[in-house]
Amino acid sequence: MQSRWNGDEANRFIQAALAAGQSEALGLRIYTSRIIGQDPDLVLHGGGNTSAKVTAEDGSEIMHIKGSGWDLDTIEAPGLPAVRMEPLLAARDGGKLSDPEMVALLRSALLDAASPNPSVEALLHGFLPFRFVDHTHATAALALANQPDMQETVKRVYGDRLAWVPYVMPGFDLSIEGDKVYRAHPGCEGLWLENHGLFSFADTAEASYELMIEFATLAEQELARAGVTLEGPQQSDQQADPALVERLTTALTRAGSPFAKGLSLDYRSTPAIRRHVSKPDVADIALRGTVTPDHVIRIKPFPLIIDAGASEADIDRALAGYIERYTAYFERNAAKASEPKTMLDAYPRVVLVRGEGMFGLGSNAKAAKIAGDLIEQSTRVMNAAEAYGRFTPISEADLFDMEYWSLEQAKLKSA
């Protein structure tokens, strides 16, 4: 992975921040957040988060942290709201907080009450004793993070530079667990989050960013060592069959569908996607789950799978089977939940066409494109993960907890 750091460009962001009455650190935080967000092999569509700690004029410590609803590639100062550090640090030694309690704490710590909600990983950013903290879902790291029993491999590749954090759902629990792991490995330069992604941290924006690039590059090199080629982002190079599009649209927009009032389809067919959808066991692979937990919010836990020549009746049967499978998934896991859950719509957000390509679905073109972009990265991750070993994402129960997490649902509604 190539670094996008440019000293002249970084200085322009510093000068713009100073001219706006902001700190140099915030200018650099905006700059490195953007160059992270502009690399689809680091983050996509609201994924990842960044922070910067500064000393306020009154001597107190504050932290700028990515706000909900902002994408790193276009982030501006309002997308990095400032929170007071003191109440965040106090939460480290307090009692367990529910997710709504954590959000209330973060909102009460905002310097500007009109700011967006701070990232749900804000506490972990605050606990880590570094001025700059970066978190990404790097493609190469995901191909390795979604392997079983990878702790020793991570140790071999990164030594003591990265500390291993077993999978914990994002939010308060991950913040506490990540802090415990860091304090047990105080010399580390980052965290490896099982099935999730990477953290890097340093006292300068450039150093934290360059660490993230290095850690992602080391993951690429480990894949290469095993003879695995990780393909870069690819543009779709084939068109969908118009007749299939018409049949899909008819099936997906019937009365009762969430798409009855509007459906957009984003078709993707790249060399990597065609390799994925042509595998004899593609259904088994695709039904295992998403490549990083938050993707389930956008594209559901599994796709609808059809054959290239599927008739309208074939699609209707496949869709009925999908709805039955999704309903069973919900009922199985809702019965074990600690609070009542209301089922979301049981319609897919991805359609996998065997041997040909994949559709991202949405009620508008933007939502469909987001699904399409996630498809493109996910298939490259799955291809590399299967070539390296076995694609093994989080369990169905953990995936359900993420999809039906009240905070994530609220975040999408606000976005």
pLDDT bin (cut points 50, 70, 90) of residue 408 is low
Instruction: Work out the average pLDDT over 335-351.
Output: 92
Helix (H) or strand (E) holding 266: strand 264-268
For the cut 60, the answer to whether the pLDDT of residue 70 exceeds it is yes
For the cut 80, the answer to whether the pLDDT of residue 33 exceeds it is yes
Ramachandran bin of 149, using left for φ above 0, alpha for ψ from -120 to 50, beta for the remaining angles: left
For the chain, what is the largest distance between any 2 Cα atoms, rounded to a whole number of angstroms? Answer: 69
Q: Give the number of other Cβ atoms within 10 Å of residue 23's Cβ.
A: 18
For the cut 90, the answer to whether the pLDDT of residue 309 exceeds it is yes
For the record, the structure tokens of 213 come out as 């690039």
Task: Report DSSP state, residue 238.
Answer: S
Nearest 5°: phi and psi at 83? -125, 150
Q: What's residue 411's pLDDT?
A: 52
Q: DSSP H helical segments within 20-121, as ranges?
A: 24-37, 85-91, 99-108
Q: What's residue 414's pLDDT?
A: 58
Q: What's residue 413's pLDDT?
A: 53
Q: What's residue 45's pLDDT?
A: 87
At the top level of CATH, which class does the domain 7-225 belong to?
alpha beta
For the record, the structure tokens of 251 come out as 């099936």
What are 124-158's pLDDT values in tens digits?
Answer: 999 999 999 999 999 999 999 999 999 999 999 99
Q: What is the mean pLDDT of the chain?
A: 95
Please tell me the pTM assigned to this model.
0.95
* Contact residues for 155 (Cβ-Cβ < 8 A; gap 6+): 164
The C-alpha angle 371, 386, 395, rounded to 5 degrees, equals 65
Q: What's residue 91's pLDDT?
A: 95
Q: Give the number of other Cβ atoms within 10 Å of residue 15's Cβ.
A: 12
pLDDT bin (cut points 50, 70, 90) of residue 46 is confident
For the cut 70, the answer to whether the pLDDT of residue 253 exceeds it is yes
- Amino acid at residue number 402: M
In 15-141, beta strands by DSSP E = 49-55, 61-65, 82-84, 132-136
Residues 126 and 89: beta-carbon distance below 8 Å: yes
Instruction: Work out the average pLDDT over 77-97.
Output: 95
Q: What's residue 341's pLDDT?
A: 87
pLDDT bin (cut points 50, 70, 90) of residue 348 is very high
Instruction: Work out the average pLDDT over 243-262.
Output: 96
- Amino acid at residue number 327: T
For the cut 60, the answer to whether the pLDDT of residue 415 exceeds it is no
Q: What's residue 121's pLDDT?
A: 94
* Contact residues for 14 (Cβ-Cβ < 8 A; gap 6+): 24, 27, 28, 31
pLDDT bin (cut points 50, 70, 90) of residue 277 is very high
C-alpha closest to that of 81 among 90, 68, 92, 97? 68
Task: Report DSSP state, residue 310.
Answer: -
Residues 362 and 297: beta-carbon distance below 8 Å: no
For the cut 70, the answer to whether the pLDDT of residue 410 exceeds it is no
Dihedral of CA 396/402/405/408: which sign? negative
Residues 123 and 175: beta-carbon distance below 8 Å: yes
Nearest 5°: phi and psi at 306? -135, 165
Share above pLDDT 90 across residues of the chain, in percent, rounded to a whole number: 92
Distance, CA of 329 to CA of 400 (rounded, Å): 8
* Contact residues for 104 (Cβ-Cβ < 8 A; gap 6+): none
Share above pLDDT 70 across residues of the chain, in percent, rounded to a whole number: 98
Distance, CA of 6 to CA of 68 (rounded, Å): 27
3-state DSSP of 317-341 = HHHHHHHHHHHHHHHHHHCCCCCCC
Q: What's residue 225's pLDDT?
A: 98
What are 176-198's pLDDT values in tens digits?
Answer: 999 999 999 999 999 999 999 99
Task: List, by residue range, all CATH 3.40.225.10 domains of the chain.
Answer: 7-225, 242-414
Q: What's residue 372's pLDDT?
A: 97
For the cut 80, the answer to whether the pLDDT of residue 320 exceeds it is yes
Fold of 242-414: L-fuculose-1-phosphate Aldolase (3.40.225)
pLDDT bin (cut points 50, 70, 90) of residue 373 is very high
C-alpha closest to that of 135 among 61, 70, 219, 72? 72
